[in-house]
Amino acid sequence: MAAVAPRAHHTSAPPGKRSLDELVKSELRRGRRRRWTIAAVVIASLGGVGYLSYRAWPRPLPLHERFRSDEVTRGAIVRIVSANGRLEARSTVEVGPRSSGRIESVEVNFDEHVTRDQVLAIFDKDSLEAQVKQSEASVRVARAALKASRLESDKAKRELKRSEQLHRRGVESSSALDQARALADSGRINIQSARAQLELQRAALELSRVALGDAEIRAPIDGVVIERNVEPGQTVAASLQTPTLFVIAEDLTRMRVMAAIDEADVGEVKVGQEASFTVDAYPDERFTARVTELRSAPQIVQNVVTYEAVLEVENPDLSLKPGMTASVKIVTAQEEDTLMLPNAALRFTPPGAERHPSHPHVWQLDEEGQLEHVLVETVLTDGIHTAIHGDRLELGDPVLVDLTSEGRKAYEKQKRRGG
């Protein structure tokens, strides 16, 4: 019988011990994985923070985004001087009385056409007619006195002749002859006095007749009554200052504007320049005029100095009325079809750049995006645009006029950092 070899028996660790080892190894593996995970999370977080910081970190703003620009254009530049004025007739006459008294009647009304020597108003004539009669009587009295003086003179001459004959015969004394000569001389003087008195009374009569004629106030020119300051029954006193009873405009189809030119603009205004104006009554209509006179007398109101310019305007339809307020624009210079740029470009200087002190210039960005200034020759400005000459700038060229809001902020931050 064959012998059976004994089985080899393997000895294994106890179950409790194997579980502990496996648990330790498993925990070690989990710890390593956790550390790697944490490290990866930290690295990813740091990378994200760095990326966000990189994206959020302010970068320098490009120059072309810092400035606002405008283009060089072509057109007409018109230099205009603005002023305010009033409309009035070119020829206006104020009519007043030369004597005082009560107005008996008024013969014309407002806006009535009158002719030369037409009666406008009549004074009460009773007292004036009485004065004429009194003067006529005084003239008659003076004539009678002159006649009596002549008779007395003739008598004195005859007495003198008789006394001379008697004196030559020795009948009359020398004293009687002297007395007769004195009477003759006195007669001649009395005649001269009476003649002067007659002339005086005649002059008084003429004055009375003139005063009677002045009782009728007449139109001195042909025209239109634009003002009437008297009513029937009104008493007028012309002793100290002659009152204005009527104002007559010669021709309202030809009027003028009296414009007040500011002293800063008066050097540009010249006789012959064209102008236009508007009035409140016709705000959508512009009337044409022409400067015909520039007066040198200053008008000073509250330390504001103005000079009066006269502008003539035609008014064939009588739409314009005396006294209307006119807003006047006088064309003092103009350039047609010229290159022009905004005035803001001439005033603007980029922060940190030096302004050319002796010549007008503007700023541009060159092809490389860098700042450069361009000298220009200015000709005329209308307050918004300026006409320029020369070949340094062309139509459509951009010129800098101001900072953008972002550019202003960038320069402020740069200034705060001391850059």
Sign, CA torsion 270/272/274/277: positive
pTM for the whole thing?
0.61
Question: Residue 410 burial (CB < 10 Å; 0-12/13-18/19+)?
Answer: buried
Q: What is the pLDDT of residue 43?
A: 80
The pair of three-digit structure tokens given for residue 110, joined into one six-digit string: 């407002």
Q: What is the pLDDT of residue 418?
A: 63
How many angstroms separate the first and last alpha carbons of the chain? 111
Q: Which helix (H) or strand (E) holds 364?
A: strand 361-365
Residues of the chain with pLDDT under 70: 1-20, 23-24, 48-61, 418-419
CB-facing half-sphere around the CA of 127: CA atoms within 13 A = 11
Which runs of consecutive H residues, i.e. helices, occur in 84-173?
A: 126-169
Contacts of residue 278, defined as CB under 8 A and 6 or more positions apart, other chains included, come to 285, 286, 287, 326, 327
pLDDT digits (tens, 9 = 90+) for 200-259: 999 999 988 888 888 899 999 999 999 999 999 998 887 777 889 999 998 899 999 999
Q: What is the pLDDT of residue 16?
A: 46
pLDDT digits (tens, 9 = 90+) for 310-327: 999 999 999 999 999 999
Q: What is the pLDDT of residue 414?
A: 74
The pair of three-digit structure tokens given for residue 393, joined into one six-digit string: 């700038």
Q: What is the pLDDT of residue 60?
A: 62
Q: What is the pLDDT of residue 170?
A: 75
Q: What is the pLDDT of residue 259?
A: 96
For residue 103, the SS3 value is strand
d(CA 383, CA 342): 9
Which residue's entry shows tokens 């002339």? Answer: 199
Q: What is the pLDDT of residue 274?
A: 94
For residue 62, the SS3 value is coil
Q: What is the pLDDT of residue 351?
A: 85
